[in-house]
Amino acid sequence: MTLPASTLNELQAAARRIADASPDAAGPHWGAMHKLLLKAKVAPGEIMPLVAGRDLGGLHRLLAKLAGAPIVEEPKSPSKPKPEFDHDTLAHAMKAFRTRLKLTRLDAESRLGVGPMSGGRKHGIDAIVPPREIPHDVWEALADEGKLRRFDGGFYGLAEES
């Protein structure tokens, strides 16, 4: 699917703003990119993994596809060694993850029709996007250790609840 030049220019300008911004300040730019991609009629299934995971490389591949450029597979580079994290960092990340998951579930249960006092339904939340204050590599390390489970779109859940 090719897009009009004005829409494509708008998407590329938004991608440049994301690339130029620091990771901490890129959130509003990703939100604007999300809206632009929806406006360009890109399938939400393609958009969400990119925006939720803040995948800049995937965004550039999608924009190249939308521009009609041939997709060239990137050569497989030798895998870079996975960073090692100390026990305190991993423990802090797990505590932050459990707290975020608990608060998300409590928020869902506070709605009408959910919980023991109204309908008795459960919250149904098995996975969340982990806190962005902790680097993505820490979540990957916890998943590699078997403490977290990976879900699609950058979501993680507790492995002990599987």
Question: Domain residue spans in the chain?
Answer: 5-67, 87-161
For residue 153, the one-letter residue type is G
CA-based nearest residue to 124, from 160, 96, 161: 161
Q: What H or E segment, with its residue span, contains residue 158?
A: strand 156-158
Query: How does pLDDT run across 61-118, given as a tens digit for each residue?
Result: 888 888 776 655 555 556 667 788 999 999 999 999 999 999 998 888 777 766 666 6
pTM score, two decimals? Answer: 0.53
Q: What H or E segment, with its residue span, contains residue 50?
A: helix 44-53
